[in-house]
A and B are shown apart, each in its own frame.
Chain A
Amino acid sequence: MIDLSTTIGNAWFPSPLFTASGCASSGKELAQFIDLREIGAVVTKSVMSKPRHGRPTPRMAETPSGMVNSIGLQGPGIDAFLSHDLPWLVSQKARVIVSIAGETIEEYSTLARKLRSAPGISAVEVNISCPNVENRGLVFACDPDASRRVIDGVRKTLGGELPIIAKLSPDVTDLVSIAKGVVDAGADGLALINTVLSMVINLDTMRPHLGGKTGGLSGPAIRPIAVRAIYQVHEALPHIPILGMGGVASGRDALELILAGAKGISVGTASFGDPAAIITIQNELIELLSVRGFTSVAQAVGFAHRPVEESENS
């Protein structure tokens, strides 16, 4: 038996496999294909204070081993989320990580205040890195100071109970310094990585294909970027839990991110191709851990960082 359980802050999860924010809507859509209780948690689509239409279509372009999306945080707003989506997930006995996104530092705190009294939440993901906003200056995770201030505000509003996971962007020069900043400000864990800012030009119209012009690249195409980001941050902050994501499509991919330092794995784009992918990946991961002699996920976390042994040099 492999012990699959993992923790982020004071939150315990029976499995290290999570949905990825924005890739499971609010959970209902996947319930026909998987038992939501069998995974670590449902990470909800990032919710904002008000209902939001998102960006114009086209919102998607498939690229080699990946896709570019430009959804722009379409959603029902926090009040509708708390009155409909969250109670449904709780009624299904799913563990829930609520992802929040704001346009201002104050909006994040407002969202955190509404979550404080909501029952059934395991942790809060603070999405400060959505690439699909009109003003790139508003991608908080590209600015060390803004990142810190968002997390500081959420921490102060939430109090000490709910773990905070800060979701960071790989589109920065010095990821480690941003990670350290948000940890200092009170983040219990880090979600690495959000999608990579990108663009596709349509050869028929000879203009940017997406309605929002730029989008976020996801899928296996970005997996090596995720592995690098997780490895770098785990090396600098070995005691901070990392929820790893970026193109995980198999148990092999999940194990790679775990070896780099992830304590949990979010499956995103792979669910678009196969809504039951997360369960398949979980089963493959168990097999791969077992073959390598691990008896728990925890033993494998960051294993790629271990010192080189004498025998390996000979």
Chain B
Amino acid sequence: MTNINKSSERLIATVVSNKRVGQYHQILLNVGQMVNGCKPGNFVAIKVGGDNAKMILRRAFAISRVSHSGPYGGSMELIVAPFGQGSKWLCAQIEGATIDLIAPLGTAFGIPTEPVRALLVGGGYGSAPLFGLAEVLKNRGCRVDMYLGASTGGKIYAPMEGKRSVNVLKIYTEDGSMGERGRVTEPIPGLIADGLVDVIYSCGPMPMLRAISHIVAGSDVVHQCAVEESMACGVGICMTCVLPVADSEGNVSMKRSCIDGPVMDGSQVMWDLVGKIPEAHA
């Protein structure tokens, strides 16, 4: 049998709330029992534009958090940047609107069985799923530090309530408009050298994930990253969202970021080959 897309289903969900948070929208959807299958790192594929839209493909969004109990039952939170046509449509949906979605999709962040020292690194709205992850790690007794970075302060997503599960929250902006000036990856070599981190969880732009993988290489630190590649289907049938990944024997193949990801072992992604084609099969 197959485990691909196991426990994912299509659902018509209702928008519970849609609030602007800085440059992002925090959208809460009532999804009922679906929350039971959702884990940090999973994503949702949403139909955009209504029934007669010329946009025929779903849009993938990381599930920021789920809540099992609330005034409306199980709910799912998304953090959306109104950047393209599809995300603008989603951000314009008001309370009570219905949303056609498929979830949960993709792999989830691996949760350690023993308490570890975890560093969560988010770039831009990539921080969204890290707050849900922080709660889970905290409940396992992990020490959770979170470093968030962006080009400018307006692109940092760091809600007040999310900080409860985090021991240390540091913010880095390239223009110095919030937190410390610099890139979020800059302090990581020092943390590793001082033996302060066992596992890095990252989510954000591909160059950031790549930089962390290079920093971690050669150390004992495990790097789990949520990759981002443009997807047509989100369920593994279109083969558009691939990136080169090595297996334990070093064989490289083009893996789908929708079903073999989005969470991958950063040490197995062949970052220098992303956007290229590995050598032909022997």
In-complex Cβ contact of B242 among A23, A31, A74 (8 A): A74
Size of the A side of the interface (Cβ < 8 Å), in residues, is 44
Stretch touching chain B among A3-11, A59-67, A253-261: A59-67
Does A50 lie within 8 Å of B281, measured CB to CB? Answer: yes
Q: In the complex, which of the residues B5, B254, B274 has the most CB atoms of chain A within 10 Å of its own CB atom?
A: B254
Does A30 lie within 8 Å of B237, measured CB to CB? Answer: yes
Does B232 lie within 8 Å of A275, measured CB to CB? Answer: no
Does B275 lie within 8 Å of A211, measured CB to CB? Answer: yes
Closest residue of chain A to B239 (Cβ to Cβ) is A71
Separation in Å of the A24 CB from the closest CB of chain B? 6
Q: Mark A257-274, 1 if CB is under 8 A from B, else 0.
A: 000000000000111111
B41 proximal to A (CB < 8 A)? no
In-complex Cβ contact of A67 among B56, B229, B259, B276 (8 A): B56
Roughly how many angstroms separate A30 CA and B6 CA in the complex, as a whole number? 10
Q: Which of A98-152 contact B (CB under 8 A)?
A: none
Does B54 lie within 8 Å of A65, measured CB to CB? Answer: yes
Does A59 lie within 8 Å of B240, measured CB to CB? Answer: yes
Interface range on chain B (Cβ under 8 Å from partner):
35 or more
Q: Which of B1-25 contact A (CB under 8 A)?
A: 2, 4-6, 8, 10
Does A53 lie within 8 Å of B4, measured CB to CB? Answer: no
B235 proximal to A (CB < 8 A)? yes
Roughly how many angstroms separate A53 CA and B273 CA in the complex, as a whole number? 12
B47 proximal to A (CB < 8 A)? yes
Roughly how many angstroms separate A275 CA and B10 CA in the complex, as a whole number? 9
A88 proximal to B (CB < 8 A)? yes
A156 proximal to B (CB < 8 A)? no
Roughly how many angstroms separate A119 CA and B229 CA in the complex, as a whole number? 37
A residues less than 8 Å from B232 (CB atoms): 60, 62, 67, 69, 272
Roughly how many angstroms separate A33 CA and B238 CA in the complex, as a whole number? 15
In-complex Cβ contact of A53 among B55, B238, B259, B280 (8 A): B280
Does B254 lie within 8 Å of A54, measured CB to CB? Answer: yes
Does A272 lie within 8 Å of B56, measured CB to CB? Answer: yes
Q: Using CB atoms and an 8 Å cutoff, list the residues of chain A in contact with chain B.
A: 22-25, 28-33, 45, 50-60, 62, 64-67, 69, 71, 74, 77, 88, 211, 219-220, 249, 269-276
